[in-house]
Amino acid sequence: MAKDTISLSAPKRPGRRPGSNRTRQLILSAARGRFSEDGYAGTTIRAIASDAGVDSSLVMRFFGSKEDLFGAVMSITPHALSRFAEAFDGPEAGVGERVARAFLGIWEGNPVDSEPLLAMLRGAMGNEQAATQLREFLEARITESPVARRDNMGETALRIALASSMLVGVTVGRRIVRVPALANGSAEALIHLLAPALQSILGDPDR
């Protein structure tokens, strides 16, 4: 296993790792380059660690997962990252409403969470590489859900693509293009209309 080349020369002492802030910034810089070049799906923790000159375990120690590292690069808080995934917990019958509510809550809630996501979305509208990165990131949130783990579902990829495209389209119309009816409508009104559509896409077709 490769050693952490960043802190080999630092003396050992109790408490926080010497040079940890510098190490963290090196990892973030390497991750930013990898996500930009290879996209979310094509980026690996091993490649980021190699670029940063540290061991993969050190990357995981600082950030926990590739998802959390991507969130740190984009300045997205862990709360926002987990909120969407948690929408899939609970009874299947309410998954459409929970996903709609979680998605709008993230994109329209705390500016600390919503502004980096909106910046990513604006970049995706004019840059194919940024669009690929955003698409992979959003699809990964649903791919990790129970929806994607159903053995009897042969249309998983299409359903995931439809759900993510619908949600992103609403955000584009509401926050960027500002279509009047969407921009002026309340979040609750949108959730009321989106929930049945998302339920038909993400709900178990055999129920």
Predicted confidence (pLDDT) per residue in 142-159, tens digit = 665 555 555 544 577 778
Using CA atoms, how far residue 95 sits from 80, 123, 135, 137, 202, in Å, is 18, 29, 21, 20, 7
Residue 9 has pLDDT above 60, yes or no: no
Residue 198 has pLDDT above 90, yes or no: yes
CATH of 20-66, one of 3.40.50.450, 1.10.10.60, 1.20.120.430, 1.10.8.870: 1.10.10.60
The answer to whether residues 85 and 144 touch, using CB atoms and an 8 Å cutoff, is yes
Residue 173 has pLDDT above 60, yes or no: yes
Average pLDDT in the chain: 78
User: Sorting pLDDT into bands at 50, 70 and 90, what band is 101?
Assistant: very high
Question: What CA–CA distance (Å, rounded) separates 154 from 141?
Answer: 19
User: Sorting pLDDT into bands at 50, 70 and 90, what band is 191?
Assistant: very high
Per-residue pLDDT at 17: 45
**Averaged over 180-202, what is the pLDDT?**
93
What are the residue boundaries of the structural domains of the chain, listed by start? 20-66, 74-202
Residue 200 has pLDDT above 60, yes or no: yes
Question: What CA–CA distance (Å, rounded) separates 123 from 141?
Answer: 20
Assigned CATH topology for domain 74-202: Tetracycline Repressor; domain 2 (1.10.357)
Predicted confidence (pLDDT) per residue in 38-81, tens digit = 777 788 999 999 999 999 999 999 999 888 888 888 777 777 77
